[in-house]
Amino acid sequence: MLIDIALDAVGSDKAPEPEIRGAILACKSLPVRVHLVGPEAELRDLLDEHLENEDLPIVIHHASERIGMEEKAVQAVRTKKDSSIRVGLKLVREGKAAGFVTAGNTGAAMATAKMVLGALPGVDRPALATPMPSSTGNPCVLLDVGANVDCKPHNLAQFAVMGEMYARSVLKIHKPRVGLLSIGEEETKGNDLTREAFPLLKALPIHFIGNVEGRDIFSGQADVIVCDGFVGNVALKTSEGVGRFVRDVLRESLKRTVTAQVGALLSRRAFNEFRHRLDYREYGGAPLLGVHGVCIIGHGSSNDRAIYNGIRVAYEFAVAGTNQRIEAEFASRPERDGVGASASAKLDSPADPASKLPANPDATVQ
């Protein structure tokens, strides 16, 4: 049985070439049917060129508008009713696709997802979660990485529940260790946000290990690390920059002398593995946790491999039923936890139109 995944075909910096190639890779390797969303004539010509009469489960849904990376999310979402992001998310809402993948404008994707799909009962604010490499070989889930720049303590508690569920359902970690990102391990360390969030996370029925520091993102000490979107996005971008720096310095060092070049040849396999573990394209994008449907947001610079992995993540997310599990988890929370459905309903009234948008819809993880 094929799982239907909608793909924003005009989202990335070099669209639609990476999206077309990524969709073909996915359909050859995974039990998926990819729904390309974008200008039909343009996509049809390019798809026919790449398929060369090969029969793959790829269909096209016309969308006459696209949202550029430089556009303000709120304005674009409100004015572009036929954007590829909105059309793709409607396929998820209508049950025609099990998930949506985009490498387009992150703020627009988040804002549209909250409006079109709606937040899960019990979720005040959706969060972007991304797996980070660690020294143990197992990824560490970091959230939020950009959806909510300003957070309240109960938001971090909600992120902890969603991140823990993601680690169990998708990453198959039996008992995820959840840490709170701070500037020291002691409970009293940090700012007002982390100090007030600490007892909330401690009271949750999760394996909370207390405060962790920035270096622990890569140490393997925690499986899930929780923070606000400002800190998370800075950590994510810094990590990507350090990874590129180390890779480039190592490559340059291995070219300097004949001895180094011989060593490089002998260690090529290890070097390639090192690059693979630091390559964001292998992780496929960040799931937007807390909305009523699967939404994966990737880098604007995604190539075909990154698009393929985004589709793979959406497929795994849908098959695992992670959204349904998160919803059930929140529905079962007593109000006293501050993260249950009844508590969240008081914080995010459906009568308030502003509640349909994330706290910072122009934030970006590109």
**Domains by residue range for the chain, with CATH:** 1-126+290-366 (3.40.50.10950), 129-280 (3.40.718.10)
Query: Does the structure show a pLDDT above 70 at 107?
Result: yes
User: 120-158 pLDDT, tens per residue?
Assistant: 877 888 999 988 888 787 889 999 998 888 899 999 999
Instruction: Read off the amino acid at residue 41.
Output: A
Across the chain, mean pLDDT equals 83
216: Cα separation from own chain's centroid: 20
**pLDDT tens-place string over residues 302-342:** 899 999 999 999 998 898 888 887 777 777 765 545 565 54
Q: Are 109 and 128 contacting, i.e. CB atoms less than 8 angstroms apart?
A: no
> Tell me, what's the pLDDT at 186?
87
Residue 153's CB: how many other CB atoms inside 10 A? 17
Nearest to 87 by CA among 15, 34, 38, 32: 38
| Local confidence band at 255 (pLDDT 50, 70, 90 cut-offs) | low
Closest by CA position to 180, among listed 168, 163, 166, 205: 163
What does the radius of gyration of the chain's CA atoms come to, in whole angstroms? 21
* Three-state helix/strand/coil letters over the chain: CCEEEEEECCCCCCCCHHHHHHHHHHHHHCCEEEEEEECHHHHHHHHHHHHCCCCCCEEEEECCECCCCCCCHHHHHHHCCCEHHHHHHHHHHCCCCCEEEECCCHHHHHHHHHHHCCECCCCCCCEEEEEECCCCCCCEEEECCCCCCCCCHHHHHHHHHHHHHHHHHCCCCCCCEEEEECCCCCCCCCCHHHHHHHHHHHHCCCEEEEEECCCHHHHCCCCEEECCHHHHHHHHHHHHHHHHHHHHHHHHHCCCCHHHHHHHHHCHHHHHHHHHHHCHHHCCCEEEECECCEEEECCCCCCHHHHHHHHHHHHHHHHHCHHHHHHHHHHCCCHHHCCCHHHHHHHCCCCCHHHHCCCCCCCCCC
Each residue's pLDDT tens digit, 263-284: 555 566 655 565 555 555 566 6
Q: Note the pLDDT of residue 85.
A: 96
Residue 281: per-residue pLDDT: 56
Tokens read off for 315: 């497929």
Structure tokens at 361: 């819809």
CB 294 within 8 A of CB 117: no
149-205 pLDDT per residue, tens: 889 999 999 999 999 988 887 788 889 999 999 998 888 889 999 999 999 999 999
Q: Token match 């709170």: residue?
A: 180
Report whether pLDDT(261) > 80.
no
What is the average per-residue pLDDT within 28-38?
97
- Predicted confidence at residue 334, as pLDDT, reads 59
- Output the pLDDT for position 235: 87
| For residue 345, pLDDT beyond 80 | no
Is pLDDT of 348 > 80? no
How far apart CA 73 and CA 150 sit, in angstroms, is: 17
Q: List Cα–Cα distances, 173 to 170, 176, 222, in angstroms.
A: 8, 6, 11
pLDDT given for residue 352 in this prediction:
37
Q: pLDDT of 205-241, one tens digit each?
A: 999 999 999 989 888 899 999 999 999 988 888 877 7
